[in-house]
Structure 1
Amino acid sequence: MKKYILTKAALLVFIMTSAQTQEKLDTIYANEYKNVALFFPEEISQGITGAEHFVFTYNREKQQHFGLLQAKPGRESNLLVIGTNGSVFSYILKYKKQLSRLNYFIPEAERIGKEKPVVKDSVKDKKPQKNLNKKEDHYRRFCSYLLSKKQHIGRIKKRKNGIILSVENIVYNKEQLYFVIEIENRSSLDYDLNFLNLAIETRKKGKKKSLQRLYQDPVFKYNLPAKIGKKQTVRLVYVMPKFSLSKERRAILELNEKDGERNLKLKISHRFINNPN
């Protein structure tokens, strides 16, 4: 099975980079005594080595930007890494007893191609597609930056049956509100996510008090999982068009479990929405 995955990945890189076959790949050295850390510009989706005496480990459950490389004596091989945004990186691997370098910070310019090419329907679509990619690239970069910070806007949290839903931060940037959300599963069962929605709730005054709820669609979702494993925590970002709320209104974040009853509704006061970081 491992050989099949490697062959398929190698074929993909060959197709996507046929125009770059003359490009000389960098070499990374490793041994069995020390961890060599590789930091990539985007989270790692897949990492494959060409031989078993080279081992590349990375977090498969909670995607991160770095992986660790170790090696045993043997012939040279190669490392193929595919990022969550489809970027492809490839390096020659060699064993070396004495290592002069233990950390590699990989720039985006070193990617050799994309896992899937961008298909444009017609000549008319070129400008809109370019602008869309620019926006999404900005959203992605800023979301990644926010997840690296430890800034908190206040205590906005809801607990139920070992599931904790919280809004860590609300940030305003370029006409958008960024909601930094954390879902923690302290239970002994995996949590399959059905949906995570944001709505605006209005209290109607009068003899018969009622609530009216209007759902808001994010313009971008970053790091939204399909499952939160037991004893795991996931942090994600929802990018929403800028809005403000009166005292009679508030935001509601709804977390719903697929085929389960561990559902949470987190109320967010107008004060947090109107005073973002």
Structure 2
Amino acid sequence: MRFRFIILLFALLYFVDIGACQLSNEPIHVTANSNVTITFFFPSPIIKLVKPSDNFIFKYKANSTMGTLTARKGPPSNLTVITENGNIYSFTLTYETEVANFTFILSEDQAIGTIPLSAIEKITGKTYTDVKERLPDNKVRDTSYRQTSLPNNTNYSEVKIEAFRSSAKSTKIQDKTKMDKGLYDVNKKDYYGIFCENNYVQPPKIKDASNTVNLIKVQLNNILKDRSELYFVLEIKNNSEIDYKVKRLRFFVKSRKNNSKLEIEQLYLYNLFKTISAHSKNNLVFVSKKFQLAADQKVYVLLEEEDGQRSVLLPLDIVDEINRI
């Protein structure tokens, strides 16, 4: 009897249109804190949010496919994002001091469900003709998607999730390679630039990581890892009365045993000024491939001045920091 009741209840919930998530698409788990910005790239513009609790802040601009998330210490929460092609994305959010993933490039494959075109029109104020241009062909023409009209008094902040048909799994497998190809694979420099823009201002997290020469201070504030790259977050302060013209910035690894020196290849350099004005500072990021250090090795940062004598060499004893991330 109890088993029959459970089956009946499940059927009732389905037919009164309380949408079920596709079983293979669980909410995406995201960790965040106040020191880094998590960036999301959606395949279609964001049109609606079900916001998380106040300790999580999600921002986006109108007609944008990109959103950003920061967090203060507090309880876990959840975020729901609806995009203009009707997809619904679900995220579980937790505050953590260490963040595992800084960038999420999402595909339609990762949506937990979809809303009907009538609901999209209600949210955006656009007609069906306007919206269908942003919809994949299979969602416009495939009538096996269960899309029903919602009442006019629907609260769209609590819009119900429609289930994807289970046979979509075969399409998902066929298109996986195509969908996995995101900005990182297509244009790494653009990817680096966006990541750096969201993380180039960091509070100091590494001890004894600064050096000052003639009132020019170079400081390493943090080291971040994303995918197979390291991001060295730096700050240069010109506390002198004279502008500082930058010639170049270089990174080296040097061994104490044999005094050998190896220059670290620069993949990308973000926001290094050509001239750092008197009594000002410059926040920047140096990007390199991930590498490991031996116990006797140090990293050296060399800031060289153009036509001047105020070059700064910053030695960094960061074996533990480099090898554990």
TM value normalised by structure 2: 0.43
Larger Rg: 2
More strand by share: 1
